[in-house]
Amino acid sequence: MLRAAGVGVGDEVVVPAFGNVEVAEAVTLAGALPVFADIDPLTYCIDPGAVEAAVTSRTAAVVAVHRFGRRADIGRLHALGQRQGLLMLEQGESEAPHDEIAQRRQRAAYLDAKLKGVRTPDGGDGHTYQQYVVRVPGNGRPDRDAFARALRAKGVECRVPVKTPVHRLPEFRRCVSLPETELAADETLALPVDAALTKREMQRIVSACNALGGLLQPAF
């Protein structure tokens, strides 16, 4: 898609570093240079303000990736693209049936109301909860990872959505400041909200999470 749009050697393409290594790889395959911009901490999508700050005379395109069921701020990004003469591309997520999304939203609302000690996701407009991503605050990665291990020991499936931001991978290592990306990589944890989960299973998730509040106290 990038090559077809005329993006190639000598061009820069602004991309997020929070997950989606294949986006940076596609830029490289086109012969261009991926430039990483920070994310909005509420949506986990690329932040339009950070994109604007990353634009140079070599910037040819921006790739916005929709994350976890939240959409990037395409309105602001397209406006920026029109002002700067940039190609704007989107990478979406697979669409789920409407009834499945409705059930996910129902389970997400239950978790929003019941969970304590973790920061629940900002629902926002149109969130489809492809993943229900909470923040485990405190000292960063050790607390989040200890929390995840404790949940798994109680039979609750959970996963770290982004273990290493793309700009920290050896093949894309950049000396760039992306504080929201790195904090999100350290704190985020995806909890199950599958449509198949029973009420008893949802109660077990809440019980297991809320019993671990001691892990969330920051050390001094």
Pick from 46, 66, 91: which residue ends a domain? 91
Residue-number span of the structural domain to which 135 is assigned = 98-216
Q: Is the pLDDT of residue 44 over 80?
A: yes
String of DSSP letters for 12-30: EEEEE-SS-HHHHHHHHHT
Characterize the bridge pairing of strands 59-65 and 12-16. parallel
What SS3 state is found at 159?
strand
Confidence of residue 88 (pLDDT cuts 50, 70, 90): very high
Two structure tokens written together for 167: 């700009």
**Of 9 and 174, the one with more pLDDT:** 9
> Residue 104's CB: how many other CB atoms inside 10 A?
22
Average pLDDT over residues 18-41: 95
Pick from 65, 91, 117: which residue ends a domain? 91
Two structure tokens written together for 123: 């629902």
Segment (H or E) for 50: helix 48-54
pLDDT at res. 18:
97
Q: Is the pLDDT of residue 178 over 90?
A: yes
Domain count, the chain: 2
Q: For the segment 129-150, what is each residue's pLDDT rounded down to a tens digit? A: 999 999 997 655 558 999 999 9
Residues 84 and 124 in one domain: no
Domain CATH number, residue 143? 3.90.1150.10
